[in-house]
Amino acid sequence: MFYLVTYDIPNDTRRLRLSKALKDYGERVQFSVFECLLDEKLFAAMMERIKKEIDETEDRVRIYQVCEACKKTVTILGEGMLTEDPEVYIV
């Protein structure tokens, strides 16, 4: 499933830790936005990791699940492309 993860974290240290954690699950497409292609197990792992990195009294993280039909309606202006599942896996 495709997820869009956005965050607003005022603390520099927590923001950096979260961005490093999210790089393990997806691709950064803007400063505080990641696109992630995850199965249920990886999504659950990402959620646990996010919860460990943030302060829920100060930080805001939003995660949007984007269906296949909705992905086709995404408009991108400027540089970049929508994150897709790679067609070739190197093991």
Annotated binding residues for Mg(2+), written as ranges, equal: 8
If we measure between CA atoms, which residue out of 52, 43, 73, 54 comes closest to residue 15? 54
If we measure between CA atoms, which residue out of 63, 6, 49 comes closest to residue 29? 6
Binding residues: 8
Strands across the sheet with 33-37, in order? Answer: 27-30, 33-37, 2-8, 60-66
- How far is the C-alpha of 44 from the C-alpha of 29, rounded, in Å? 21
